[in-house]
Amino acid sequence: MTSQIHVIDLFCGAGGLSLGFEMAGFDVVLGVDSDQKCAETYSRNLGRCTVADITGIRNPVTFLESETGLEGVDVIIGGPPCQTYSPAGRIKMRSLGRDPGSDPRNWLWRHFMRFVESLKPDWFVMENVPGMAGVMIDGHRLPDLIVKVAGRMGYKAEWRILNSADYGVPQIRRRLFVIGSRTGEEIPWPERITDRPVTVWEAISDLPVIPHGFRKTVIRYTPRCRLTEYQKMMRKGADGWLYNHVTRRHNERDLLIFSLLPEGGKYMDVPKELRRYRDDIFRDRYRKLRRDAPSWTLEAHMAKDTYRFIYPSRPGEPEPPRTVSVREAARLQSFPDSFMFPKSLTHAFRQIGNAVPPLLARAVAGSLRKCL
């Protein structure tokens, strides 16, 4: 086994996939993303990140050498943008009068595979939404087409959909992975590590009580309960401070509705006489998290609002009604408290919602590590 296994992360975003690979002992030498804000977050927490549009990089070999000094890498990882593959993304595009089928982002996976073909790593790992499996191109489901393309390049490849909750993430989040090997070895899919998912409360109950509209980006970390094993893991490597525990401000009408919702409840669970105060929203827009279950899937839409992620406050307890803080959302994605996000709530929530949960990435990377 080599001492250093070099990895580059294409379409790296804030770095959830890279962080998981770093946790598993890989050396991620470079992240690449076209979003300046994501690159700033990645660089602050992980290391070198180049802001670049991958479609415009003509020679991946020259690019890699100029950015890292390396002539090759052992693994290429990445998650091409998925808006055109998700049902919500396709609905939104149609509402804007755009055809999802003609969106250029449908083909970004080809540029990922172009890097694979040029750099010839021993392994590659591509990540995306499960909706990718429902996209048909030339009579093939898209993941099957990627496997076929990889085969032409000399890679044995497979795809599967994994659930983050099976790997220690306090969130029901299904993600599609395509793994390819140029060594001819069997694809090493990770074994699920638990039959009992980590719950929302096991993930965030230690964090200080704060009101809605709280904007102190750095506060003292004073746990308010005995730490769970998950919380201990999230605090590992953190100092005595807590970052990004900030919240959105809400009007009194929303705060009242938040307080009336049962755990797991939606807007339709609010008494009829109060529902008339919000007849401008979808009936499932409001949703309160359950303490005794993992969260449902976090989304990039959190950049606009967090109504579907209402904090599980209870009558008679100190937690005031509000939606989740940036740090709580990061905890539900399995980002450790040492990982810092932008001060802007919009950018922070978008980056968290788009990210690969680091613990899921670590599970995939850990299974791969055994083959290297």
Please tell me what DSSP assigns to residue 130. Answer: G
- Going through the chain in order, the beta strands assigned E by DSSP cover 6-10, 27-33, 49-51, 75-78, 123-128, 136-137, 140-141, 156-163, 174-181, 218-220, 241-243
* Full 3-state SS string of 275-292: HHHHCCCCCCCCEECCCC
Determine the Cα–Cα distance for residues 301 and 354; give it in Å rounded to an integer. Answer: 9
Check the CA dihedral 264-318-306-132 and report its sign: negative
Check the CA dihedral 167-169-171-177 and report its sign: negative
Residues serving a catalytic function are 82
Alpha carbon distances (Å) from 244 to 306, 324, 347, 352, 356: 15, 11, 12, 12, 19
Determine the Cα–Cα distance for residues 110 and 55; give it in Å rounded to an integer. Answer: 9
Q: Residue 196 belongs to what H/E stretch?
A: none
